[in-house]
Amino acid sequence: MAYAAYQHASRPVGVCATAFVVVDVVADVSEAAHVRHAASGCDGAGVVRCIPLQHDGRVRLQIRCPACEVAHLMHNVMQEAVAAEFGHTSSWAQHLEAYQKSRHG
Give CATH for domain 2-104: 3.30.70.2750
Nearest to 50 by CA among 38, 32, 77: 32
Q: How far apart are CA 47 and CA 37, in angstroms?
A: 10
Q: How far apart are CA 31 and CA 85, in angstroms?
A: 11
User: What local confidence, expressed as pLDDT, does residue 75 receive?
Assistant: 96
pTM confidence score: 0.76
Render each residue's pLDDT in the chain as its tens digit; 105 residues. 344 444 444 445 555 667 999 999 999 999 999 999 999 999 999 999 999 998 899 999 999 999 999 999 999 999 999 999 999 899 888 887 877 777 776
**Strands 46-53 and 20-28, bridge-based pairing:** unpaired
User: What local confidence, expressed as pLDDT, does residue 99 receive?
Assistant: 74
| Side chain identity at residue 29, one-letter code | V
Q: Are 40 and 6 in contact (CB under 8 A)?
A: yes
